[in-house]
Structure 1
């Protein structure tokens, strides 16, 4: 049996799987990372003391606690490491990308993380992220650096479109995405100018449920783009500036909600990211990487388990549990009790997601 095959039957050897993708890092460093990720899946908490309880071996609790800290404080585990472990999971298909922020408070610290990821199975799998040194919105330069970092390893020809909400607008930002060859589907604010006409005044007539597509492209933030306008059932104007066709724009924009499912899974309904006391930007980014890797594994396994035994749907039509939670429960049980399906489940953690038949918004209940 090869080391890689052994790693798929024994989670204490998952570092060997990581070594295949990260040959420049020491095996003990990678095994420490694998141990903390599997501990996170079982503990469902980012508190160091709870993670330590689920580390393998017979060492004392204090020794295990230091092992957790060594992993989360290790500067070798930068974002390039996590990206190299996440990229093999992507399907061979055009990818819908989303950008958004998640923020929370720990004591007096205002923690704020900007994320860029890919829509997979109703969730956004973060690929690159950055901890902002302030609360509130991100600036154009920060967004540009994040996109540029991902484009180095995932060229624009593999992006179907970038979807984002009203925070992510501006002349320089729109122009940057065009220069980089990234198609856009971006919600714009009501006070935006479209061909020198204020949006919320020129399209005030749009009724809830009505969709208005301007036949001729308009000047929006200095770019010639398609404009699609509708109104939500609550009466709020929803306007999209896009490079897509009118008939596909609204459906693609709805995929933006997948990032909210991700933040929910990473935080209160999954891995309890907010419970960590880590506030320094570099360490916070490393922790987000560990949580993202755990979530990616659970989503991948949940997808496979759903193919084998579909999740029941409730009366309102939504799944009884999300794919992440479905995979989390199966993998946590396999790791803790060594169930008969452990080998199969661990073999999935570095296999690509199946190519989606069609992109659709996540319809789950927790």
Structure 2
């Protein structure tokens, strides 16, 4: 499995034949390719195994969690993964996931299953908030989170009822860049929550329901973008998850688990490297390179050229991430 992981990092691909080119064995390319295939067919790598590796890397204190889906097509086959992870280092590190047997939205039971599994490893007192997009709404789901004392920061649809009125009616005259909230908590899907709205520069109305203060709601919700950075690093702009030809759910789950370990390692090295050599900032005030890519540069160079720095990078898998900087927050009670 380690050989395959190193091969994926260097090949930036999940195709077996490309991974095989980066595995040094006294065997034919066809034989090494079959070995790569057997790794995913026979190795029992589960989300719980990945969680066991990643949990010691998490900083102490409360953590921000994000749930979302990633999907793509290969021919007529739909690939669809529901992912729950922790926001660190500008990405979301997947801690548990489920391969959905269909295209389209996830179901309520699948979401509850992932949250329940993670609560067994990280109790609710470690959850600062759970962030999610408009897909993840519904009275049963909102009540499930509230009953487990998990604070919510979830975007809602414009036709969602605030008390008895559609949300769009409360924010009809929003201007681009303006932030507005309802005067006090309103009932949303059976729960009293705060609602904050803004209008994007493109004119799209963004409505977020949360258990946080008005001050913190939109700032927290922006962290949802970190999971898009995760999918980007795992897919086209990184390790090319969508190149895989594997369609069996258990094999796809193992591949995603291996990529999750690779991502965590890359980001951890990127964090360590940024402490010594800060990432340059471009004119638009964004980093010139992601932490994941910043770390992968060093890791792949060490793997490709057999550098002794590899052992330093490997040791970082036992070193927790630095604690994220906390913005000023306000206490919240149910």
TM-score interval w.r.t. the shorter chain? over 0.9
Larger mean CA deviation between 349-358 and 322-331 belongs to 349-358
2:99 corresponds to which residue?
Answer: 131
Q: Is the counterpart of residue 150 in structure 1 residue 113 in structure 2? A: no
2:331 corresponds to which residue?
Answer: none
Alpha-carbon distance, 1:74 to partner: 2.2
Alpha-carbon distance, 1:335 to partner: 0.7
- State TM-score, norm by structure 1: 0.87
Larger mean CA deviation between 242-251 and 76-85 belongs to 76-85
Q: Is the counterpart of residue 140 in structure 1 residue 94 in structure 2? A: no
1:357 corresponds to which residue?
Answer: 325
Alpha-carbon distance, 1:56 to partner: 3.5
Alpha-carbon distance, 1:287 to partner: 0.7
Q: Is the counterpart of residue 209 in structure 1 residue 177 in structure 2? A: yes
Alpha-carbon distance, 1:161 to partner: 0.1
Q: In the alignment, which of 232, 243, 257 is matched to residue 289 of structure 1?
A: 257
Alpha-carbon distance, 1:59 to partner: 2.9
1:218 corresponds to which residue?
Answer: 186
Q: In the aligned structure 1, how far is the partner of 2:216 from the partner of 2:246?
A: 41
Alpha-carbon distance, 1:184 to partner: 0.2
Q: In the aligned structure 1, how far is the partner of 2:260 from the partner of 2:210?
A: 29
Alpha-carbon distance, 1:147 to partner: 0.8
Alpha-carbon distance, 1:94 to partner: 1.0
* Superposition CA RMSD, Å: 1.3
- State TM-score, norm by structure 2: 0.95
**Contact 2:185–2:192, Cα closer than 8 Å, also in 1:** yes
Q: In the aligned structure 1, how far is the partner of 2:318 from the partner of 2:103?
A: 35
Alpha-carbon distance, 1:253 to partner: 0.3
Q: Is the counterpart of residue 38 in structure 1 residue 6 in structure 2? A: yes
SS at structure 1 position matched to 2:270: helix
Cα deviations by residue, 1:219-239 (Å, 9 ceiling, x for unpaired): 001111111122212222111
Q: In the aligned structure 1, how far is the partner of 2:201 from the partner of 2:44?
A: 49
Q: In the alignment, which of 66, 69, 77 is matched to residue 34 of structure 2?
A: 66
Segments of structure 2 that go 5 or more residues without pairing to the other structure are 328-334
Larger mean CA deviation between 200-209 and 155-164 belongs to 200-209
Alpha-carbon distance, 1:75 to partner: 5.0
User: How many residues end up aligned between the 2 structures?
Assistant: 327
1:245 corresponds to which residue?
Answer: 213
**Contact 2:170–2:182, Cα closer than 8 Å, also in 1:** no
2:150 corresponds to which residue?
Answer: 182
Q: Is the counterpart of residue 348 in structure 1 residue 316 in structure 2? A: yes
Segments of structure 1 that go 5 or more residues without pairing to the other structure are 1-32, 360-366
SS at structure 2 position matched to 1:349: helix
Q: In the aligned structure 1, how far is the partner of 2:170 from the partner of 2:196?
A: 13
2:131 corresponds to which residue?
Answer: 163
1:268 corresponds to which residue?
Answer: 236
Alpha-carbon distance, 1:350 to partner: 3.1
2:330 corresponds to which residue?
Answer: none
SS at structure 1 position matched to 2:318: coil
